Chain A
Amino acid sequence: MSESARVFVSGNEAVALGVRLARPHVVAAYPITPQTVVVERLSDMVADGSLKTEYLHVESEHSALSACMGASVLGARTFTATSSQGLLYMAECLHYASGGRMPIVMMNANRSLALPWNIYNDQRDSLSLLDSGWLQVYVEDAQEALDMIIQGYAIAENPAVMTPIMVNLDGFVLTHTYELVDVPTAQSVDRFLPPYQTTNKLDLGAPKNMGFTATPADYTEFKYQQHRALLDSARVIEQTDEAYASAFGRSYGGLVQSYQAEDAELILVTLGSVNGTARVVVDGLRAEGRKVGLVRLRFLRPFPARELVALTRHARAVGVLEKNVSMGYEGTVFTHVNSAYSAETSAPHVLNFVAGLGGRDISRQDIISMFDQLASVDPTSERVRFVNLKLQII
């Protein structure tokens, strides 16, 4: 265990502190609210000499990720950050980066999508890009944000993975909220995260072709290898979590984190920072003798199907709380959860709670109501439920 400094910072600032500790060679950024503070702090650090990096202020998100790709194929450790429309604008590059096996770490501030234009938090931006071949992690608080930036490089750069990772923080609710964060020492992070080494780079001494064309004869094999790498990353994520715990004393459990789930009859599956509010609700309901619990999906890529099924094996009903809906069907996370149960001979009743769209607050009472609905679930009733829907204004 190493000495650390305690600071009172926002989620954005925690990310910037994590990036500085990871010593990237290149930071490329185009500012977009609410991730702006991350790249502002990083530019402050470059200005005051505490971060030695090539800081590129580019003209768009598309260019920010393109610049990271250019640096990454030279063997550089790279970082960028984005949010919402900015993430969508770089969608084309997301596939390039993952297909090129470039271990870029990117922070995304989860924020809603236009129209109607809305700057507030939900998770529709990153969830719409689950198919882009990136690892996706969703953190609960500022401490986990800092820790996952550092772990993110260790996971992405692992030779068995070589895949970019998106570290998702709920916009405003996490990015702009101030809280206590332990900042590990640079020496201890240097021991945990050695410099990036790869043979998968442009090198005049060992020329190779990168970013090339594949034909129908071999494209499938490239995609299969990417698929395998994302599946295999599950083991690397767990090992990295264990190594981080022994170095810094904090473990998050790998792909999923559960709370009071072992004997729970009713379980809420969550994503991101709302899990913190749900913990308080579970404590309250447990004190009343109700057997309720939580399973937080930390990673959606790779998807923790096996872990989810194991943790909810004894539950009578499972609710999926997500700040998202795939319009015309149901919540995307809900679809994933149901897919996990489809391989099982028996499954709990499932409900989908669509909440927090466009930044609408999710209160403790809302979460109590979700557990109440799970307690009285009727398999014939509507499974996809919009929380606090104001039918009177529609």
Chain B
Amino acid sequence: MAAALFEGRFALAFPSFGPERRGAPVLGFTRIDDRKITDRSAVRECDYVVVLDETLMNPAIADGLKPGGKVIVNSATPSKYANGGFEVIGLDATGLAAETLGKPITNTAMLGALIAVSSMVRLDSAVRAIEQEMNPKLAQANIQLVKRAFASLQPKP
């Protein structure tokens, strides 16, 4: 949404389809390009895997990860995944979300992490997307969260 609405690019976002319930493991995919995206086949190769719940971490999580691709995991102790044969970057999104939102909802924190690691979209585009999508009160807290997550993964001076 940030890329498509605020950076003049194109995006296609889709879940892995099926019955849904809160708390069940789910998969979601996003393609971003400078041209209109027409390919609707399943994503088999990717640049980044974002894991919102570290209990889902397993060796197969990096299947289809391109060479040079990265796994970004919600974890306070990401170093334990260091020898999995793929690059792992961690952020304690649950902790940050609990502090900022008062709830362990980690989506926007992990968006901030993804932007910090990938520069896929600009931070201000994500902020504008959150402003547009959420009601003002929720948006304010989530903007704070996405910014804190982004800042915490910047190189230390």
Which A residues are closer than 8 A to B by beta carbons? 6-8, 34, 119-121, 140-141, 170, 172-174, 176-180, 273-277, 279-280, 359, 361-364
Chain A CB within 8 A of B11 CB: yes
The residue of chain A having its C-beta at the shortest distance from the C-beta of B19 within the complex is A119
With A178-B12, A179-B11, A180-B10 known as contacts, the answer to whether A274 contacts B40 (CB < 8 A) is: yes
When chains A and B are docked, how far (Å) is the Cα of A314 from the Cα of B19? 46
Q: How far is the CB of A31 from chain B (nearest CB, A)?
A: 15
A280: B residues at CB distance < 8 A: 38-39
Q: Are B15 and A180 in contact (CB under 8 A)?
A: no
With A276-B40, A279-B38, A363-B42 known as contacts, the answer to whether A6 contacts B5 (CB < 8 A) is: yes
Q: How far is the CB of A6 from chain B (nearest CB, A)?
A: 6
**In the complex, which range does the number of interface residues on chain B fall in?**
10 to 19
Which B residues are closer than 8 A to A by beta carbons? 1, 4-5, 10-15, 17-19, 37-42, 44
Q: Are A179 and B5 in contact (CB under 8 A)?
A: no
Q: Are A177 and B44 in contact (CB under 8 A)?
A: no
With A8-B11, A176-B14, A179-B11 known as contacts, the answer to whether A277 contacts B1 (CB < 8 A) is: no
Could you tell me the dominant secondary structure of chain B's interface residues?
loop
Q: Are B14 and A361 in contact (CB under 8 A)?
A: no
Q: Are A176 and B17 in contact (CB under 8 A)?
A: yes
Q: Are A363 and B10 in contact (CB under 8 A)?
A: no
- Could you show 23 A-B contacts with beta carbons less than 8 Å apart? A8-B5, A119-B17, A120-B17, A173-B14, A174-B40, A176-B15, A176-B17, A177-B12, A178-B14, A179-B4, A179-B10, A179-B37, A180-B4, A180-B11, A273-B40, A276-B38, A276-B39, A277-B39, A277-B40, A362-B41, A363-B41, A363-B42, A363-B44
B12: A residues at CB distance < 8 A: 177-179
The residue of chain B having its C-beta at the shortest distance from the C-beta of A34 within the complex is B17
The one of B1, B5, B10, B40 in contact with A177, judged by C-beta atoms closer than 8 angstroms, is B40
The residue of chain A having its C-beta at the shortest distance from the C-beta of B29 within the complex is A177
The residue of chain B having its C-beta at the shortest distance from the C-beta of A171 within the complex is B17
